[in-house]
Amino acid sequence: MNDKVFQIWQNKREQGFLRWLYKSTLGAVVFYIVFNTVFQYSSFTELGILAFFQSQLLNYALFTALMFFANSLLWLYRESSYKKEARRRNIL
């Protein structure tokens, strides 16, 4: 882990797990919803935007759950790498 990545993760871990998890998952879900709407709404234009969102609701819920799980695993991996590097640098 280089110095820049080490410093960035040190700053992010100060936010805490739940705050980082919320922000990361929310960012991914908003990105997914926006681009899903932009690229797929044209096939639902005659039914309206509400019908489109209702048809995509299960996809949004599943994506949110998967991103929550994936970001949790990512946190554990990064935290493990950070602790290993901190021990190597004699910080912990």
DSSP-assigned states of every residue in 24-83:
HHHHHHHHHHHHHHHHHGGGGTTT-HHHHHHHHHHHHHHHHHHHHHHHHHHHHHHHHHHH
Residue 27 lies in a domain: yes
Q: How far apart are CA 57 and CA 91, in angstroms?
A: 46
Residue 5 lies in a domain: no
How would you class 68 by CB atoms within 10 Å of its CB: exposed for 0-12, middle for 13-18, buried for 19 or more?
A: middle
Residue 79 lies in a domain: yes
pLDDT at 44 over 80: no
Residue 9 lies in a domain: no
Residue 8 lies in a domain: no
DSSP 92: -
The tally of domains found in the chain comes to 1
Rounded percentage of the chain residues whose pLDDT exceeds 90: 72
Residue 7 lies in a domain: no
pTM of the model: 0.83
- Residue range 34-52: mean pLDDT, rounded: 85
Residue 53 lies in a domain: yes
Residue 3 lies in a domain: no
Q: What is the pLDDT of residue 45?
A: 73
Domain encompassing residue 58: 16-89
Structure-model confidence comparison of residues 62 and 44, the more confident one: 62
Q: What is the pLDDT of residue 51?
A: 86
